[in-house]
């Protein structure tokens, strides 16, 4: 939307009014699948409130009112992902999840948090290092989650629900396998996320539809791990 001359005159004399403002953070629900188990990345807090409790990685969005208004929400999410967890930049799938702003959700002050989901390929998952100060670790979503700080349990719940929903009508599953993968590996991801088992034959049929739709393509080489070597595929992200 273009500014009019009237707008420019107005802005030259405009002073941002002092209506109270909330703090705004981004929080990250970082998923991966390791050993056929859905994991979420948590960091241990070293400051009150909830010191020693585990929490979702996240932090304040850098903002300003002047010539630079600061970073975008996506940039803030990507920055926190890199600095708080040690994961490499630009290699994870990021998607806005939901915004949580209930009064009292942070006892210190009014904080509104824009939650993002991040999907990390399993071959990158071991790179998590954590902050200089705090620890960062993968936890199984189904077995042995610690009690989370703030309303992060609610955020994680929403992230899990959304991931489950998207898995069967959108190609997000490919963000949870390595660059090349076998049908069984992708099936393992679906089983880990959905928490059930899929018929190998029927799963293959769905897979083959995606193949003929050009969503995935055959890659070179075969996977040698199990008994019989399996064909290896690649996700075609550049959709026409």
CB-nearer residue toward DNA: 21 or 209? 209
Among its own copies, DNA, none, partner that 61 touches (CB below 5 to 8 angstroms by kind): its own copies
Describe the crossing of helices 200-212 and 183-194 by its angle, rounded to 10 degrees: 110
Instruction: Give the phi and the psi of residue 87 in degrees, each rounded to 5.
Output: -70, 150
- Contact between 39 and 85 under an 8 Å Cβ cutoff? The reply is no
Q: Report d(CA 109, CA 89) in Å as an integer.
A: 31
- Report whether 14 contacts 109 (CB < 8 A): no
Tokens 């049929």 map to which residue? 205
Per partner kind, with CB cut-offs from 5 to 8 A, the member of its own copies, DNA, none near residue 204 is DNA
Say which entry of DNA, its own copies, none residue 202 contacts (CB below 5 to 8 A, set by partner kind): DNA
Minimum CB distance to DNA smaller for 49 or for 229:
229
Binding mask 34-73 for its own copies (x = CB under 8 A): --------------xxxx-x------xxxxxx--xxxxxx
Where helices occur in 14-65 by DSSP H, the ranges are none
* Residues contributing to the site for its own copies (CB under 8 A): 1, 3-4, 6-7, 10-11, 14, 16, 19-24, 48-51, 53, 60-65, 68-73, 96, 98-99, 101-104, 107-110, 112, 114, 147-153
């Amino acid at each position: 939307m273009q500014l009019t001359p009237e707008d420019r005159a107005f802005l030259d004399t405009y002073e941002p009014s002092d209506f109270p403002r909330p703090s705004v953070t981004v929080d990250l629900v970082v998923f991966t699948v390791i050993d056929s188990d859905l994991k979420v990345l948590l960091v241990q807090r070293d400051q009150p409130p909830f010191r020693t409790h585990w929490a979702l990685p996240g932090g304040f969005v850098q903002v300003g009112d002047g010539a630079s208004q600061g970073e975008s929400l996506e940039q803030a999410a990507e920055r926190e992902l890199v600095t708080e967890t040690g994961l490499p930049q630009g290699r994870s799938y990021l998607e806005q999840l939901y915004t949580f702003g209930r009064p009292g959700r942070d006892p210190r002050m009014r904080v509104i948090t824009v939650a993002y989901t991040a999907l990390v390929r399993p071959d990158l998952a071991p790179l998590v290092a954590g902050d200089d100060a705090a620890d960062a670790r993968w936890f199984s979503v189904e077995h042995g989650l610690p009690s989370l700080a703030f309303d992060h349990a609610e955020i994680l719940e929403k992230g899990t629900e959304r991931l489950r929903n998207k898995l069967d009508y959108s190609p997000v599953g490919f963000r949870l396998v390595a660059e090349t993968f076998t049908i069984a590996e992708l099936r393992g991801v679906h089983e880990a996320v959905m928490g059930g088992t899929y018929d190998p034959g029927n799963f293959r049929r769905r897979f083959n539809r995606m193949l003929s739709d050009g969503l995935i393509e055959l890659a070179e080489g075969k996977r040698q791990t199990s008994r019989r070597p399996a064909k290896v595929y690649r996700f075609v992200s550049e959709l026409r």
